[in-house]
Amino acid sequence: MRYQALKSGSDVRGVAIGEDAVLTGEVARTLGMAFIAFLARKENLRPDQITVALGRDSRVSGPDLLAATAEGIAAMGATAHDYGMCTTPSMYMAIVTEGFRPTGSIMITASHHPWKLNGLKFFTREGGLGFHDLDDLLALAETVSAPTNTVRGSVSAVPFLPRYTEHLRRLIIDGLNPGVAKPLLGLHVVVDAGNGAGGFYAAMLESLGAWIEGSQFLEPDGHFPNHVPNPENAQAMDSLAQAVLRVGADVGVIFDADCDRAAIVDRTGKEINRNRLIAMISAILLEDDPGATIVTDSVTSSGLAEFIQEWGGVHYRYKRGYRNVIDEAVRLNAAGIDCPLAIETSGHAALRDNHFLDDGMYLVTLLLMKAMQLKQRDQELGSLLNGLKEPVESTEIRLSILTEQFAQTGKLVIEPVMDYATRQPTWHIAPDNREGVRISFDLDGGLNNGWFLLRLSVHDPVMPLNVESDVPGGVKTILRELYRALAQETEIDLQPLREAL
């Protein structure tokens, strides 16, 4: 098979169940072998000097794929440590944790995607593999084979999740009151694990004094029978909101299946994800680090930019894709710019204090600590969002690309739109336009109170179009303007845009 076809951003992903499965045990075994070849070249090590940790989420295909990947690692003469069910962030934390420190690690997960899919995420000391590193690994998979003159490596079970859990416990205790055993006493938290790998978080909170009545879907179930494990999914967020309201909790938290993303709801059931989530964690960080730069993806709202500025920060929009925002934040810090946070609207949040690892549990833990501090002052977590301006209207339209060379076609569509914008006095090209084309508009006599972003999808042959307006009817006004610029394009499907008009 062509292993490059399994690439999805900086991960490997594919159907793992059924007759159309492409991520089979044999494929996983080969990818395990290829990772050893990759690490041997990168670290200048012999295979017998390499140890790789493996973990998985709750998907039904996870145990078999993990075992097959471990088999490939051992076939190369390296050592595989089976961590069992874990979170994606914990697989990197193992690399930097005294007493563990594998050479690399692999997480078997497909995040929030349907249960028949699965995937592999690869980590080294530098963090998750970037796009180009993954290309190199997949190229190795095309030709790698197990040596016949090498002593076989070993596979053994190693419990790491208890150590990762203790890391979160210490973060809360040290951050709130090192002299108190139960620093969360009096805080009522509903945890929704979506039947993924994160159910243990509720027990950890309870051990610190939190009341967790109303928590739901904590038991791992790889079919995800209750709702999609996705903090962006409306049904999942509504389920959490209803649970919070039903028991009168202070806050609710929700994770995706592998816990690298999260969101919350406040005591009124208000969803705090996407722009609201970015605003909340930015406010918390900027209290202690005024003037800091917050890196986000490109689809964040104008209101968020104003909010961060009002809190004394700098909003830095960058490309979609969690690896993109993380890599840019790392680059900015290396250049001497104070940047404590890289965060995507999807909920991927990576903090400098946590190795720029996108860790939903770390993010939520910081929010719960703040919720506890505010409750002790008779204040609420939601108060941090006071002043956040949210759009009156917003929409996302996905325009399919009709050619096989979709990346090239996407660029060819964006160029004439950008050219068109330069000739329209009412179109204002965003000064921080770093992906696709972002245009703001002055609607109904206002200033910069509507915008669109047209870009190429990170993964799919699609051009997502995001539109927001601060005035009623503004979205349709913007769509009509854009349609005039795109009307002659034949290599993208404009029907969804026409229907929106």
| Ordered DSSP codes for 315-349 | EEE--SSHHHHHHHHHHHHHTT----EEE-TTSBE
Report how far apart, in Å, the C-alpha atoms of 444 and of each of 121, 266, 469, 470 are.
48, 34, 11, 10
pLDDT at 130: 86
Helices in 146-291 by DSSP H: which ranges? 161-176, 200-207, 234-247, 274-288
User: Above 80 in pLDDT, residue 197?
Assistant: yes
pLDDT above 70: percentage of residues in the chain: 100
User: Which one-letter amino acid corresponds to residue 72?
Assistant: G
Distance between CA atoms of 498 and 6, rounded to whole angstroms?
A: 33
Show the domains of the chain with their CATH numbers. 3-159 (3.40.120.10), 164-385 (3.40.120.10), 393-500 (3.30.310.50)
- pLDDT at res. 283: 98
pLDDT at 323: 87
Rounded mean pLDDT, 380-408: 93
Contacts of 253 (CB under 8 A, 6+ apart): 189, 190, 191, 192, 201, 240, 262, 263, 264, 364, 367, 368
- State pTM to two decimals: 0.93
Tens digit of each residue's pLDDT (9 = 90 or more) over 245-292: 999 999 999 999 999 999 999 999 999 999 999 999 999 999 999 999
* Cα radius of gyration (the chain): 23
Which of 232, 208, 204, 207 has its CA nearest to residue 218? 204
Q: How many CA atoms lie within 13 Å of 139's alpha carbon, on the beta-carbon side?
A: 7
Please state, as a whole number, how many other Cβ atoms lie within 10 Å of the Cβ of residue 29.
Answer: 21
Within 10 angstroms of residue 121's Cβ, the number of other Cβ atoms is: 25
Q: For position 407, what pLDDT does the model report? A: 83
Tokens of 470: 């601060």
Mean pLDDT for the stretch of residues 301-315 = 96
The Cα 263–Cα 360 span in angstroms is 8
pLDDT at 149 over 80: no
Map tokens 């004439």 to a residue.
416
Quick one: what percent of the chain has pLDDT higher than 90?
Answer: 89
Average pLDDT value for residue range 366-390: 96
User: Which pLDDT value is given to residue 361?
Assistant: 97
Binned at pLDDT 50, 70 and 90, residue 18 comes out as very high
How does pLDDT run across 440-479, given as a tens digit for each residue? Answer: 999 998 888 999 999 998 778 999 999 999 999 999 999 9
3-state secondary structure of 309: helix
Q: How far apart are CA 69 and CA 484, in angstroms?
A: 52
Is pLDDT at 1 greater than 90 in this prediction? no
Any residues with CB less than 8 A from the CB of 140 and at least 6 apart, and which?
34, 37, 38
Comparing CA positions, the residue from 196, 191, 194 lying closest to residue 214 is 191
| pLDDT of residue 433 exceeding 90 | no
